[in-house]
Amino acid sequence: MCILTAALSQIMTGRDIKLLGQISGCYLGRYATSFRLMYKIRVYMGKREALYTLSDMVGYDDCFVTVATKRAEIGKLKRGKGSQRKASVAVAAESVPVENPETGKFGKVCSYFKMEVLGKVDRHHVNRFIKKNTEGDFALFTDKNTAYVDIKDIVATHFTVVSGKEATNDTLRWVHKAISNLKRKLLEINHMITYKYLQNYLNEFVYKLNRRYFGDRLFDRLVLTSIYPYVQSCGYTY
């Protein structure tokens, strides 16, 4: 029952978690207990997402997310891009061009996403992210950031666009939408997150995003995700 409680908590509020804990016999009255459960669930979400890679047409960009900082240190840190209060996050989206049968115009339909804390936006970190999360012959779309100068050496096809209206509305549309939704969620729902646990929350966001059409099956899949490490250790697959 505690496993089911943990699985349910990813779609519940803190008050619901406490109530469910009382019903099931799992004491979740303390924030630390609930946090540990959520932490483990998000870890399993990340492990599950690590099993999959992107292919075909992939858009890539990075963004900066504000992380929690001690009040006494805020005045000592620099502001803007490169600030210690900002964490760099790599975002990649798999998309497929489709034709609208009514208008005859072509557009892109998003498929799967990947997000990861970069640590630093440079050639080494970006190339490592691309290698880790893609496979096969695919076309990569990015802006003209100088950190992407060596990407052509690790991908079959690399297209670049100038940051602006075209990139936002067409080429990197789904990447930028994912970034916008991520920042909104972290700000309005999770509020301030420390750098230490940022990847943990990215795991949850991407897991739900990649299963946005699962509906009622999301809970079942989450239970399987939670027990996957144990099933795998026994030699079974599903």
pLDDT per position as a tens digit, 58-105? 999 999 998 887 665 555 566 655 566 789 999 999 988 777 777 777
Question: Same domain, yes or no, for 61 and 160?
Answer: yes
> Do residues 107 and 12 both lie within one domain?
no
Say what the pLDDT of residue 27 is.
53
- Please give the tally of structural domains in the chain: 2
Q: Residue 204 domain-assigned?
A: no
Specify whether 94 is located in the same domain as 165.
yes
| More confident of the two residues 81 and 183 | 183
Same domain for 102 and 86, yes or no, is: yes
**Mean pLDDT to the nearest integer, 4-16:** 48
Residue 174 has pLDDT above 60, yes or no: yes
Indicate if 69 and 183 belong to the same structural domain.
yes
Residue 86 lies in a domain: yes
Residue 205 inside a domain? The answer is no
**Domain-embedded: residue 73:** yes
Q: Does 83 or 21 have the greater pLDDT score?
A: 83
Q: Are residues 42 and 64 in the same domain?
A: no
One domain, residues 61 and 45: no
In the predicted model, is pLDDT for residue 147 greater than 60?
Answer: yes
| pLDDT tens per residue, range 93-145 | 998 877 777 777 777 788 899 999 998 889 999 999 999 999 988 999 999 88
| 95 and 184 housed in the same domain | yes
In terms of residue numbers, what domain contains 169?
Answer: 57-193
Question: Are 72 and 31 part of one and the same domain?
Answer: no
Q: Three-class SS string for the chain?
A: CHHHHHHHHHHCCHHHHHHHHHHHCCCCCCHHHHHHHHHHHHHHHHHHHCCCCECCEEEEEEEEEECCCCHHHHCCCCCCCCCCCEEEEEEEEEEEEEECCCCCCEEEEEEEEEEEECCCCCHHHHHHHHHHHECCCCEEEEECCHHHCCHHHCCCEEEEECCCHHHHHHHCHHHHHHHHHHHHHHHHCCCCCCHHHHHHHHHHHHHHHHCCCCCCHHHHHHHHHHHHHHHHHCCCCC
Residues 68 and 37 in one domain: no
Domain of 151: which CATH number? Answer: 3.30.420
Examine residue 30 and state whether it is found in any structural domain, yes or no: yes
91 is a domain residue:
yes
pLDDT at 12 over 70: no
Is 90 among the domain residues?
Answer: yes
